[in-house]
Amino acid sequence: MEDQKKRAAVPLAKKMGISLVCGLGAGMFLLFLREVLNGSGKEAVWAVVNDLLFQDITAKGAERALGILYLIGQLFIRSLQLVIVPMVFTSITLAIGQISDTRTLGRISAKTIGWFLICSFFALILGCGAGIGVYKAGLFQVQVEGLSGDGGSVGANPMNVILNVVPSNLISAFGSNTSVLAVVFAAVCLGLCMNVLGEEKTCALRKLVQEVNDVVVVFLNYVVTKFGPFAIFVLLTRTFATYGIDYLKPALAYVLVAVAMLLVFLAAGYPLVVALGARLNPFIFLKKITNVAVFGFSTSSSAATLPLNYQTCTEEFGVDEAIASFVLPLGMTINMNGTAIMQVIATVFIAGCAGYDISLTQLVVVALLALIASAGTPAAPGAGAIVLFTILSGVGFVNEGALLAYSLILAINRPIEMLVTALNVVGDAVTSICVARSEGCLDEEKYNKR
């Protein structure tokens, strides 16, 4: 049975790799075609192609558009988002319910949070160093005139993240994919209460939660295995086809710095943590985590990538199922290393555009706000740029120039957030490996099996 799963996983990874390459190729070709048509006075031709294939059919004025690729991509994303809440709730409840020793549970929780903070600390150091270096060099002094500043979001106190952990209404918490922290809290409470009552009194409840979890896993595995590779091609193709060169030119420095730092942390930072923290071969880790990173990059959703991440951690890396069931859903909600890097660099970029001076104290405040705000970022596409406004409000970067620069970030940040998601999901896998290794719950034979 295990050999059959192994044989099925290898073709899936290959299909995802092929889809990534084909999607990038098709997207770049369509981006080039868009520029050629719009530059030669044939905007109407591109408008027809866009309405047929790429148009967001929910947007105002798109009543007659077909948006075929948009439809396919959204159907795939929504089918994954459909079971985010039951997946997180059941997996964490079962993980905690299986750990009857409260000392063990407390130790695992402390280690998980500890590794999250360690990775976040180094991510923020990298983001702050790169951001302030480019800022001092004057590369973030870009022209943003002509952009509309009314696409912003309303800022909020980052401490609301802590307040929103405990829901005032359980039904409302379960009714939204943006209240995952509240769902995690409810799952932890239920798991702990089940432990106190004992297996005899909670036998029926445990069985119900387990069966719901089994149904969710079967559904998600089917969606990911059967439709994942094609959806990756569709999502990548549409993303690059809908972003013209004009969107990238004004903030080329931000795009290049953000992408470079994210890639550095992905390709060097995480392997270093695995090598030093878990004392395991980092090259094996890089090879096996590729399909998870590609899937996260393509879907731009940590929640959508969770099933594949869980499968990879348990079957490829040998992480104990109880550890993976606890660490990965929790990491999906609070472990946002890529988001933190992006938000720090974006904040420094906006400060440069708006004429603000960045002091060391302000940079530390930005880093702390990024850490807190990123923990409350919904695991869904586009959420990071919205939460960014919370940081801007927290440090007082809210003049007209800052709002214009923020609008520019909203316009160009989709490709960046795709890479951010890849970093976030890989970070969750790293933590699960380190925690499992420290607890003696890692099958090293599985990990080292090439």
Distance CA 386, CA 343 (A): 10
Q: Please compute the mean of the pLDDT values over residues 261-283 and round it to a whole number.
A: 93
pLDDT reported for residue 161: 62
Reported as a single tens digit per residue, the pLDDT across 86-144 is 877 887 788 777 766 667 778 888 899 899 889 989 998 998 888 888 888 877 766 54
C-alpha closest to that of 308 among 81, 92, 13, 95:
13
Please state the rounded mean pLDDT for residues 372-393.
62
Compute the average pLDDT of residues 21-47. 85
Residue 275, pLDDT score: 93
Cα-based torsion angle of the residue sequence 420, 421, 423, 427 in order, rounded to the nearest 10 degrees: 140
Q: Between 189 and 154, name the one with better pLDDT.
A: 189
Q: Do the Cβ atoms of 438 and 111 come closer than 8 Å?
A: yes
pLDDT of residue 159: 62
Determine the pLDDT at residue 92: 76
Q: How confident is the model at residue 150 (pLDDT cuts 50, 70, 90)?
A: very low
Q: Closest Cα partner for 127 from 379, 348, 353? A: 348
3-state helix, strand, coil split of the chain in percent (to 5) is 80, 0, 20
| pLDDT for position 153 | 42
* Percent share of the chain, pLDDT over 70: 83
**CATH code assigned to 2-448:** 1.10.3860.10
Any idea what DSSP says for residue 267? I
- Pseudo-torsion of CA 252, 372, 99, 82, nearest 10°? -60
Residue 381 has pLDDT above 70, yes or no: no
CA–CA dist 182, 310 (Å, integer): 21
pLDDT higher than 60, residue 202: yes
Whether 436 shows a pLDDT value over 60: the answer reads yes
Q: Which pLDDT value is given to residue 177?
A: 64
The pTM of the full predicted model, rounded to 2 decimals, is: 0.71
- The single residue listed with the structure tokens 């075929």 is 68
- What are residue 442's DSSP bridge partners? 319
User: What confidence category does residue 155 fall into, taking pLDDT thresholds of 50, 70 and 90?
Assistant: very low
Q: Does residue 145 carry a pLDDT above 60? A: no
One-letter amino acid of 441: C
pLDDT tier at 253 (50, 70, 90 boundaries)?
confident
CB 91 within 8 A of CB 213: yes
The secondary structure of residue 313, as a DSSP letter, is I
- Amino acid in the structure at residue 202: T
Higher pLDDT, 244 or 55: 55
pLDDT above 70 for 74: yes
Structural contact between residues 415 and 239, judged by C-beta atoms closer than 8 angstroms? yes
Specify the amino acid at residue 373. A
pLDDT band at 151 (very low <50, low <70, confident <90, very high): very low
What is the mean predicted confidence (pLDDT) over 191-217? Answer: 86
pLDDT at 387: 65
Give the per-residue pLDDT at 158: 54
Of 346, 348, 305, 294, residue with least CA distance to 328: 305
> 318: phi > 0 → left, psi -120 to 50 → alpha, else beta; which?
left
8 burial via Cβ count (<10 Å: 0-12, 13-18, 19+): exposed
| 13 Cβ contact partners less than 8 Å away, ≥ 6 residues apart | 290, 291
152 pLDDT band (50/70/90 cuts)? very low
pLDDT bin (cut points 50, 70, 90) of residue 9 is: very low
Model confidence at 314, pLDDT cuts 50, 70, 90, reads very high
Q: How confident is the model at residue 13 (pLDDT cuts 50, 70, 90)?
A: low
Residue 261 has a pLDDT of 93
Question: Tens of pLDDT along 90-104?
Answer: 877 887 777 666 677
Of 178-192, 208-222, 315-329, 400-414, where does mean pLDDT reach its minimum? 400-414
Per the rule left: phi > 0, alpha: psi between -120 and 50, beta: everything else, 373 is alpha
What DSSP line would sit under 73-121, residue for residue? HHHHHHHHHTTHHHHHHHHHHHHHHH---HHHHHHHHHHHHHHHHHHHH
Query: pLDDT band at 148, cuts 50/70/90?
Result: very low
Residue 345 to residues 137, 352, 417: CA-CA distances in angstroms? Answer: 14, 11, 13
The H-assigned helical ranges of 300-336 are 302-311, 321-334
The per-residue pLDDT for 378 is 53
Predicted pLDDT of residue 250: 59
- DSSP letter at 30 equals H
Confirm if 418 and 297 have CB atoms less than 8 A apart: yes
Would you put residue 61 in left (φ > 0), alpha (ψ -120 to 50) or beta?
A: left
pLDDT (0 to 100) of residue 423: 92
Torsion-angle region of 142 (φ positive above 0: left; ψ -120 to 50: alpha; else: beta)? beta
CB 235 within 8 A of CB 88: no
Q: Residue 61 — very low, low, confident or very high, per pLDDT cuts 50/70/90?
A: confident
Q: What is the mean pLDDT of the chain?
A: 80
DSSP secondary structure code for residue 146 in this structure: T
The mean pLDDT of 201-224, rounded to a whole number, is: 85
Residue count of the chain: 450
Residue-level pLDDT at 270: 94
pLDDT confidence of residue 8: 44
Q: What is the mean pLDDT of residues 420-446?
A: 92
Q: What is the pLDDT averaged over residues 257-269?
A: 92
> Distance (Å, rounded) from C-alpha 296 to C-alpha 323?
21
